């Protein structure tokens, strides 16, 4: 029987507020028959009173990101979508969904940006207030809101939505999001809309004391449709009031002060201001939400006498406190990722971030939960309550962009399972509207290098299509001809020259998204940015075809160290720069080909060939020696295909010898680590790659696990073998870059690989390593669940494989000697073989 399991529009189910003029439809099919493919489909889009698009019965197998091609969509309009599909077995299935358009650029000209009249250096959070009366029954009510700063909106005391940190962090000078809320069920005869604002990323202090602006402001547009068909619009103007309320202070780095003894006070009329230069656009990705709630696993008094609660997991988020204290009692909650080796609360690695929330009680049972800050923590220290206070009065609320979890991996090795959990938790802790480097100290910026190194792994764990699409638009907006791609996006650091591996996010991430989700629009949107990055490097390289100028982050935090530096590693910094130049140029050529830009494809393929030729002359001797015989130098030469075929064996031997000199341990930093095990597995050294994965002493992935890590660390030795810490000035315990090993784990041990974009065609080829006797991997691809479960015991290998409807796969199991091409369905294999695992 054929069924439609999911029907989405721009990756979302029944979305409210679509600004896309040509949204795309995707659906997942299920069937109890093997080798099922879609034979035809029909899509009907209905407006309020007319058919907008009827495709008719189209012989077509496309079921992912089908572009709307009907009549022009109108703003603020609900559309219903009907889908009928037929498969190759003659069975049919139907599904329905709907979407509602946003403002689509048609803003009410009377809606003003308004601000408050308080001192811009004041600490309390401004509130913008509008009272309005209705004398007719409302059929539908919507409110569209944006802000300079971050906001929380309530109508008649009811919070609108469940998102945090709206409107989100974008390149505010270029782009600014707005959100859409359904207020129909909250409306009364008399109504009160309150929008509380906080500095957030806009007016708060960011790293290097950067601020976009000095004060918060809001913009809002209320749209009402009455049951008699009449409409009314209420907008922000000087009829709105401003004041303050219980939120007395809020900063991302420092925390929030909530005073329940303080009621809302109205100070006067709001003041119109000049609108921001950034273009208003509807929310582009999933909002930040509370996705999990965790109770403490223990309560202790430290040797210093501190009352500390342990939640058992390092997270990014907030603590909700249930307090029953006399009026005026001040309770302070402080946050930390770790305890020191003596068991005391440790916050030195937070640098200047205070990371504390203060709750002032009004008396009686109260619940406190901040709205305008976030912290990175596993532990909290609570001051102002008795030591016997019940632990269950405190709840850790996990915050991150609410992406759909799509990947799972487990295996027979408990340490690797914990490592996989740490990778996922590292992603959760740092995908907070943008891909941050860390969630706890006074930084939390969108470092481009970290993001590109982790992008492939990220796309296995969660559906990151919307998340990265939004962020890439800001990358493109902040990119310049003069400086290239900023090292952080949105760009809040002083202008510096773009650097290799970091700026290459402009090219690598769009290609990663295209491969994972089959989303060609990402390449269309980002292609000019990809080209501009390559052209920027070309302006530095000139006719030499080598990037050998300027400062570089190189192999950041590698354990082999260049003279006079403890951070960039020993690999020649310009070898790395030139290697990435070749890699990004090749990817740009590939994108040009996919988009039909034939001349560009030819141009960039030739440029890549010229770069590789220059690279070989400069960095590889005639006998195959590499100028930098470091692990990262060898890995880049192999993984980016920069060496002649006759030299690959020698470079592989260099890599193996280097690893052996390190007693079969890695020494790579941010640049080498993502590709290290891939380079080994792809060049006949898969067993050694497995040894690296399963090493337990420093430096290794499982060393961190054995030290109690519940997320990925910034440094391999963030906690040293003796229990002391690395340099507190840069030592995050929630930093996902080294979690890039997840891509290798999913693909090699799990066996799930892409042959055609979006997993239209997959390769199922698990590669066993000694120490792991079985694994189970599943991935919700755009077409449905793709999975591989395998085990080996007493000479018998078993595998169970699921291939989604409308796709095909090549199955290549260990020691089977057969590559089998199959269609959708479930496949079971059992055979005898000898394996040393």
Phi–psi pair at 200, nearest 5 degrees: 55, -140
Q: What is the C-alpha separation between 805 and 809, in angstroms, rounded?
A: 11
Is the CB of residue 455 less than 8 Å from the CB of residue 468?
Answer: yes
Catalytic residue among 325, 356, 714, 789: 714
Is the CB of residue 301 less than 8 Å from the CB of residue 307?
Answer: yes
Is the CB of residue 358 less than 8 Å from the CB of residue 445?
Answer: no
For residue 697, give every residue at least 6 positions away whose Cβ sits within 8 Å of its Cβ, in sequence order, or none: 665, 703, 721
What does the block give as tokens for 802? 């699921």
For residue 542, give every residue at least 6 positions away whose Cβ sits within 8 Å of its Cβ, in sequence order, or none: none
Q: What is the C-alpha separation between 618 and 575, in angstroms, rounded?
A: 9
The strand pairing partners of 52, in sequence order, are none
DSSP 747: I
Q: What is the C-alpha separation between 736 and 744, in angstroms, rounded?
A: 15
What does the block give as tokens for 376? 């990175």
Q: What is the C-alpha separation between 319 and 97, in angstroms, rounded?
A: 37
- Please list, residue by residue across 15-33, b when 16 or more beta carbons sit within 10 angstroms of its beta carbon and e when fewer do: bbbbbbeebbbbbbbbbee
Q: How many helices (H) and strands (E) does the chain have?
A: 14, 45
- Please list, residue by residue across 76-93, b when 16 or more beta carbons sit within 10 angstroms of its beta carbon and e when fewer do: beebebebbbbbbeebeb
Catalytic residue among 10, 443, 590, 789: 443
Q: What is the SS3 assignment for 351?
A: coil
The verdict on whether 714 is a catalytic residue reads: yes
For residue 673, give every residue at least 6 positions away whose Cβ sits within 8 Å of its Cβ, in sequence order, or none: 453, 666, 737, 738, 740, 741
Q: What is the SS3 assignment for 125?
A: coil
Handedness of CA 584, 586, 587, 593 (dihedral sign): positive
DSSP 730: G
Q: What is the C-alpha separation between 791 and 412, in angstroms, rounded?
A: 9
Half-sphere exposure of 625 (CA within 13 A, CB side): 4
Is the CB of residue 233 less than 8 Å from the CB of residue 257?
Answer: no
**CA end-to-end span of the chain, whole Å?**
40
What does the block give as tokens for 77? 């309009």
Radius of gyration of the chain (CA): 28
CA distances from 305 to 309, 335, 383, 646 (A): 13, 16, 11, 65
Q: By C-alpha distance, which of 583, 582, 584, 588 is closest to 601?
A: 588
Q: What is the C-alpha separation between 111 and 636, in angstroms, rounded?
A: 54
The strand pairing partners of 133, in sequence order, are 190
* Cis, peptide link before residue 438, omega less than 30° from 0: no
What does the block give as tokens for 51? 């058919």
The C-alpha angle with vertex 170 and arms to 529 and 451, in degrees rounded to 5, equals: 60
Q: By C-alpha distance, which of 17, 49, 630, 608 is closest to 280?
A: 17
The verdict on whether 10 is a catalytic residue reads: no
Place of tokens 């995707």: 26
Catalytic residue list: 443, 714
């Amino acid at each position: 029987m054929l069924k439609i399991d999911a029907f989405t529009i721009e990756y979302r189910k029944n979305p409210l507020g679509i600004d896309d003029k040509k949204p795309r439809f995707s659906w997942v099919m299920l069937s109890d028959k093997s080798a099922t493919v879609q034979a035809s489909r029909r899509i009907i889009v209905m407006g309020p009173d007319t058919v907008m698009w009827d495709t008719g019965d189209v012989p077509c197998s496309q079921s992912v990101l089908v572009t709307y091609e009907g009549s022009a969509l109108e703003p603020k309009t609900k559309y219903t979508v009907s889908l009928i599909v037929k498969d190759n077995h003659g069975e049919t299935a139907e599904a329905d969904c709907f979407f509602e358009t946003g403002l689509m650029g048609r803003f009410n000209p009377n809606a003003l940006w308004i601000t408050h009249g308080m001192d811009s250096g004041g600490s309390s959070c401004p509130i913008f207030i509008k009272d309005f009366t209705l004398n007719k029954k409302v059929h539908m009510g919507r409110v569209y809101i944006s802000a300079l700063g971050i906001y929380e909106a309530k109508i008649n005391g009811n919070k609108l939505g469940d998102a945090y940190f709206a409107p989100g962090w974008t390149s505010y000078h270029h782009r600014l999001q707005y959100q859409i809320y359904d207020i129909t069920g909250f409306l009364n005869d008399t109504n009160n809309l309150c929008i509380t604002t906080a500095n957030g990323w806009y007016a708060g202090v960011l790293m290097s004391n950067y601020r976009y602006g000095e004060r918060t402001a809001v913009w809002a547009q209320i749209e009402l449709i009455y049951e008699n068909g009449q409409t009314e619009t209420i907008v922000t103007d000087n009829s709105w009031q401003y004041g303050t309320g219980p939120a007395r202070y809020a900063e991302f780095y420092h925390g929030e002060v909530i005073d329940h003894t303080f009621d809302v006070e109205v100070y006067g009329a709001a003041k119109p201001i000049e609108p921001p230069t950034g273009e208003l656009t509807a929310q582009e990705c999933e909002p930040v939400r509370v996705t999990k709630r965790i109770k403490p696993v223990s309560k202790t008094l430290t040797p210093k006498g501190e009352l500390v609660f342990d939640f058992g997991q390092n997270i990014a988020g907030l603590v909700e406190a249930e307090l029953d204290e006399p009026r005026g009692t001040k309770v302070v909650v402080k946050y930390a990722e770790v305890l020191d080796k003596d068991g005391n609360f440790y916050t030195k690695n937070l640098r200047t971030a205070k990371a504390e929330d203060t709750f002032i009680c009004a008396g009686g049972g109260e619940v406190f939960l901040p709205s305008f800050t976030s912290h990175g923590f596993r532990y909290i220290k609570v001051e102002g309550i008795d030591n016997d206070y019940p632990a269950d009065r405190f709840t850790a609320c996990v915050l991150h962009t609410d992406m759909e979890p799509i990947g799972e991996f487990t295996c027979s090795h408990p340490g690797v399972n914990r490592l996989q959990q740490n990778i996922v938790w590292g992603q959760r802790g740092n995908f907070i509207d943008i891909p941050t480097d860390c969630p706890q100290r006074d930084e939390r910026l969108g470092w481009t290098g970290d993001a590109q190194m982790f992008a492939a792994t990220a796309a296995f764990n969660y559906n990151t299509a919307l998340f990265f699409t939004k962020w890439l638009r800001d990358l493109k907006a902040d990119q310049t001809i003069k400086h290239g791609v900023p090292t952080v996006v949105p760009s809040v650091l002083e202008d510096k020259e773009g650097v290799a591996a970091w700026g290459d996010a402009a090219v690598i991430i769009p290609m990663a998204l295209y491969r994972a989700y089959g989303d060609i629009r990402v390449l269309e949107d980002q292609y000019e940015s990809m080209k501009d990055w390559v052209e920027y490097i070309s302006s530095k390289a000139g006719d030499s075809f080598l990037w050998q100028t300027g400062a570089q982050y190189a192999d950041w935090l590698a354990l082999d160290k260049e003279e006079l530096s403890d951070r960039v590693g020993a690999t020649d910094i310009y070898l790395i720069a030139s290697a990435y130049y070749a890699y990004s140029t090749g990817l740009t050529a590939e994108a040009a080909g996919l988009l039909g830009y034939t001349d560009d494809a030819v141009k960039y393929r030739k440029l890549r060939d010229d770069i590789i030729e220059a690279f070989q002359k400069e960095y590889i001797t005639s006998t195959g020696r590499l100028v930098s015989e470091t692990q990262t130098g060898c890995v880049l030469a192999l993984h980016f295909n920069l060496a002649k075929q006759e030299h690959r064996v020698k470079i592989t031997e260099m890599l193996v010898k280097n690893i052996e000199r390190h007693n079969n341990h890695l020494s790579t930093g941010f640049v080498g680590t993502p590709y290290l095990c891939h380079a080994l597995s792809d060049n006949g050294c898969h067993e050694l790659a497995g040894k690296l994965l399963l090493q337990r002493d420093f430096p290794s992935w499982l060393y961190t696990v054995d030290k109690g890590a519940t997320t990925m660390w910034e440094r391999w030795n963030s906690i040293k073998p003796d229990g002391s810490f690395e340099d507190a000035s840069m030592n995050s315990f929630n930093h996902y870059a080294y979690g890039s090993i997840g891509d290798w784990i999913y693909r090699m041990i799990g066996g799930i690989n892409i042959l055609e974009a979006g997993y239209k065609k997959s390769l199922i080829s698990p590669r066993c390593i000694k120490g792991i006797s079985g694994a189970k991997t599943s991935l919700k691809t755009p077409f449905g669940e793709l999975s591989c479960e395998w085990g080996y015991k007493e000479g018998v290998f078993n595998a169970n494989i699921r291939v989604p409807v409308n796709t095909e796969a090549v199955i290549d199991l260990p020691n089977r000697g057969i590559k089998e091409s199959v269609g959708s369905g479930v496949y079971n294999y059992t055979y005898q073989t000898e394996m040393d695992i």
